[in-house]
Amino acid sequence: MKFKAFLTENGVNLLEKRFLPALDKMGKICHLFLTREHTFFLHNLLSGDGVQSIAQFQKEALFDDYRISSQNEDRIAFAIDISLLNRAVRSSVSICSELGGDGSTANRLQIKLVKKLPPNSTLPTPFLTFETKGYKSAVIQDVPISKPLSRAQVLELQTALDMAQDLPQTLVQVPDLNQLQNFVDRMKHVGDLLNVSISKYGDLHVQTSTTLITLGAEFRKLLVVGERAVPPPEDQNVSAQIRSERAILRGDAQLVQVNVKHFSKSLQCHLVKPDCAFYGIAPQGACLTVIFQFFIPGTRQTDKSISLHCRLPVLDPS
């Protein structure tokens, strides 16, 4: 199997300044999945434990001169330490800037898969290598990776990825992630579990409680994408909890319980600087989904070359 490409300036900015710092908050290790057309950073898709995150890039969003080949339909996947990857990108960018200080375009950041023989070892080890070539010198940085996944493992990863693309029937847009983060930070001091309900009316209700205290927050009349409904007039002057309970009984809302730390971790994705964020609950309450939307700079049109969403596991209320 072979892979090599050159990181573009846009690709460097996306990874170094936005996505890698955010993905590092999601978990130290992820799978990097390379295909003919896309690059994926995948957390917890095979383990089924913890928050799943799926970051997807069209190859043109990150690379040029992109070349990949394998006996598995040109698909390659391996586990990698996000913090080491981020450090290598930052360091390579810094070196690239120094080598290109004279304005030369000769310095380009190439990334490729290699096998090398480490010191005191007889077995070749796979690395993701960053090579920065200047006019008179080159700097190489090796990021250790796992043994590439087998054909069966890649198929399992692809199946999990396909399943993770299913969207909730109702999504509500949360306009201010920082405000939601502030609420959740306070809730972490109260309890470990968070009840989240989302209605077709555009209401998002989050609540945690113990035997002594209940703390909740409600966001009303949010933008709804997908299935929606008109709220009954008699619900306007009741408490948030009663409003949520009635909507659930009518089938106009769903309620799930998640780990408050998982919810807080998903909010760390604000580091990728999304233009919009949507919350939804999968059919039968299978998971809580957070979808981050990106616009083409200077427009309100969705940038389809990049996407990011998270799936939070649901806890059994019993």
Using alpha carbons, select from 215, 216, 196, 194 the residue that is nearest to residue 280.
196
Helix (H) or strand (E) holding 91: helix 82-99
Q: How far apart are CA 33 and CA 38, in angstroms?
A: 8
| Residue 278 identity | F
Overall average pLDDT of the 276-295 stretch: 95
pLDDT at 216: 87
For residue range 97-149, what is the model confidence (pLDDT) as tens digits?
665 544 444 467 899 999 998 788 788 899 999 998 765 667 889 999 999 99
Q: How far apart are CA 208 and CA 135, in angstroms?
A: 59
What are the structural domains, with CATH classification, of the chain? 2-163 (3.70.10.10), 170-313 (3.10.150.10)
Residue 44 CA, distance from chain mean position: 11
When pLDDT is cut at 50, 70 and 90, the band that residue 318 belongs to is very low
For residue range 176-230, what is the model confidence (pLDDT) as tens digits?
888 888 888 888 888 899 999 999 999 999 999 888 888 888 899 999 999 999 9
| Residue 288 identity | L
The mean of the pLDDT values for the chain is 90
In the chain, the N- to C-terminal Cα span, in Å, equals 48
For residue range 63-78, what is the model confidence (pLDDT) as tens digits?
999 999 999 999 999 9
pLDDT at 246: 93
Calculate what percentage of the chain has a pLDDT beyond 70.
94
For 1, half-sphere exposure in the C-beta direction (CA atoms, 13 angstrom radius) is 24
Q: How far apart are CA 172 and CA 188, in angstroms?
A: 23
271, two tokens = 């580091």
When pLDDT is cut at 50, 70 and 90, the band that residue 172 belongs to is very high
Overall average pLDDT of the 22-43 stretch: 96
When pLDDT is cut at 50, 70 and 90, the band that residue 93 belongs to is confident
pLDDT at 134: 62
When pLDDT is cut at 50, 70 and 90, the band that residue 241 belongs to is confident
Those residues whose C-beta lies under 8 Å from the C-beta of residue 151, and which sit 6 or more positions away, are: 71, 72
pLDDT above 70: residue 4: yes
H helix and E strand count, the chain: 8, 18
Those residues whose C-beta lies under 8 Å from the C-beta of residue 164, and which sit 6 or more positions away, are: 45, 52, 54, 311
pLDDT at 139: 82
Using alpha carbons, select from 248, 232, 246 the residue that is nearest to residue 170.
248
